[in-house]
Structure 1
Amino acid sequence: MSTAVIADDGFRYGLGAFETIGVENGRLALLDDHLARLSRAAAFLELPMDEAALRIEAGRQALAQGGARGRHALRLTLTARNTLFELRPNPYGLDELHRGLSCCIGRLRRNPHAPLTFHKTLCCGDSILEKRHARRQGFDEPLLLSTEGRLCEGAVTNVFLLTDDGLVTPSVKSGLLPGTMRAWVMRRTEVTEREVDPRELLQAREVLLTNALMGIAHVRALDGRALPCAGLAHALRDAYLREARG
């Protein structure tokens, strides 16, 4: 695996892919899901990928630099001429997730007609800038609409709504990146994928956010308006952590 960065189209034009994998006490969470999504992005971007070698190296990296204890994040970046790993502490505290997240409707709009929308590529600067803007305004995460005005996802999360008819999540065709934790929730419980009107956020019994590092958390407020918590996020997060930690 490369440790020195070689200039290529990944660094010139963002034509690279990455995964950020949760590490729980040295165990790589949802590794199969992450490698499958990375493989799809690599095929789309025409990048070479040796899945078996990546699996072995990811396991080694997860145990390096103190990763065998506590909660960490392992980033795997793939470009035409580079394979890079970075291990760092998980930025989400469990107490913070238990309290819930404060969200806003973001300024950024997702484009369901742009092919890179559906892959986890290095062209993600707009999401990071939008999240930083929301944080400066006192929010934890912005929720993003599509160019057609439908609810899509958060800047770095997927969204679920617990409604009177069950659990709902925006369809991929709305213009979102389907996450590994989104897939885990959809395997774990019955979920309806459909177009979601953003006004439904204020009518939901609970709004949940997911990503590979936070797991699952509920939204406690949207643009300053308190939202209810039915306890589903807590139950799913506990189930996920039990599974991830073995």
Structure 2
Amino acid sequence: MVIYINGQFLKKEDAMISPLDHGFLYGMGLFETVRVYEGFPFLLDDHLARLNQGLEVLNITYRFHREETNRILQDLLKINNLSNAYIRLNVSAGIGDVGLQVEPYKEPNILVFPKPLPLAGELSEKKAVLLKLRRNSPEGIERVKSHHFMNNVLAKREIGNAADIEGIFRTEDGYLAEGIVSNIFWVKGNDLYTPSVQTGILNGITRQFVIELAKKHNLCVKEGLYLLTHVLEADEMFVTNSIQEIVPITTFEGHQLPGKQGQVVQQLHREYRHYCQSLWSRNGLGSE
């Protein structure tokens, strides 16, 4: 597999960064995962906007732009003979002295990794389980998609490697938060519920897109602080992320759910498929 690193395309075995990179020493790094459908990077503008916002928080003086980033992606896809792929955009702060740095990072390491994915298919289901481990609080004012992933790794160890199970975090105060690698939603009547970013969750790109899709179809979206008892009354439940898209849940803490038979999840999935090869940003939903 060939990857991109700082302007070069190299075999992944040949790519190297310094052990003095502060992404390694202090976790000063960010990433985004983008799904490519038949060569099109879905919601790339939204991913880059969040990445750029995080770079500002980490005081890294680099910004991504669609034209340049898409050119790199298209070259990577061509070199690796891929048309459907997982893409990871990764920024690591760069070399610094040992010690905590206050000054801006002016020479970050920019890496882009591709991974082949199959053609996007039908809905696949998962079971959800409540994690014993609580969601850690964000490192700053709000959560960024950073290299600080130990909380997620420990949660994954708690549930094991089963691909059809997603662990659901609660906050220290007992409010539902998010999945290990996903945001969570549930349906009750005509209302679509999801935990608020006030809980300290990552404001997922797919989360934001699904919220706009739901509003487009006259669902009443409610973001708030919810306890377990609230979701156990749900008609449907699903989780979202950029690679797995919309994943319906069949059971959660003994509560049986319709999974992919749910009407709302089917409707949202159809809409997702309609846009996944053409939309640069969720803002494009309003331009039809």
Query: TM-score over 0.5 for the alignment?
Result: yes
The aligned residue for residue 11 of structure 1 is 24
Q: Tell me, which stretches of 5 or more residues in structure 1 are unaligned? A: none
Matched AA of 1:35: L
Q: Tell me, which stretches of 5 or more residues in structure 2 are unaligned? A: 7-14, 94-107, 216-220, 279-288
SS of the equivalent of 2:45 reads helix
SS of the equivalent of 1:204 reads coil
**Structure 2 CA distance for partners of 1:44 and 1:235, relative to 1, 3 Å:** same
- Aligned-residue sequence identity (percent) comes to 28
The aligned residue for residue 78 of structure 1 is 91
Whether the 8 Å contact between 1:26 and 1:63 is mirrored in structure 2 is no
Corresponding residue to 1:106 among 131, 134, 153:
131
Give the ranges of 4+ consecutive aligned residues of structure 1 lying more than 6 Å apart after TM superposition. none
SS of the equivalent of 2:134 reads strand
Q: Deviation digits for residues 29-60 of structure 1, max 9, x if unmatched?
A: 11011001101111111112231343432343
Q: CA RMSD in A?
A: 2.3
The aligned residue for residue 115 of structure 2 is 88
| C-alpha distance in structure 2 between counterparts of 1:126 and 1:91, whole Å | 29
The aligned residue for residue 101 of structure 2 is none
Matched AA of 2:223: E
Choose 46-55 or 10-19, whichever is displaced more. Answer: 46-55
Corresponding residue to 2:69 among 44, 51, 54:
54
What is the deviation of 1:137?
A: 6.8
| C-alpha distance in structure 2 between counterparts of 1:18 and 1:138, whole Å | 22
Question: Does 1:145 find its partner at 2:170?
Answer: yes
SS of the equivalent of 1:189 reads helix
| C-alpha distance in structure 2 between counterparts of 1:114 and 1:45, whole Å | 11
| C-alpha distance in structure 2 between counterparts of 1:244 and 1:84, whole Å | 24
- Equivalenced residue count is 242
Q: How do residues 146-185 of structure 1 correspond to structure 2 at under 5 angstroms? A: 146-164=171-189, 166-185=191-210
What is the deviation of 1:236?
A: 1.4
Choose 190-199 or 155-164, whichever is displaced more. Answer: 190-199
The aligned residue for residue 211 of structure 1 is 241
Greater fraction helix? 1
What is the deviation of 1:124?
A: 1.1
Q: Deviation digits for residues 169-209 of structure 1, max 9, x if unmatched?
A: 11001110010000101121232211111222211011110
What is the deviation of 1:211?
A: 0.3
What is the deviation of 1:112?
A: 4.0
Whether the 8 Å contact between 2:143 and 2:201 is mirrored in structure 1 is yes
Corresponding residue to 1:243 among 258, 270, 275:
275
For normalisation by structure 2, the TM-score amounts to 0.77
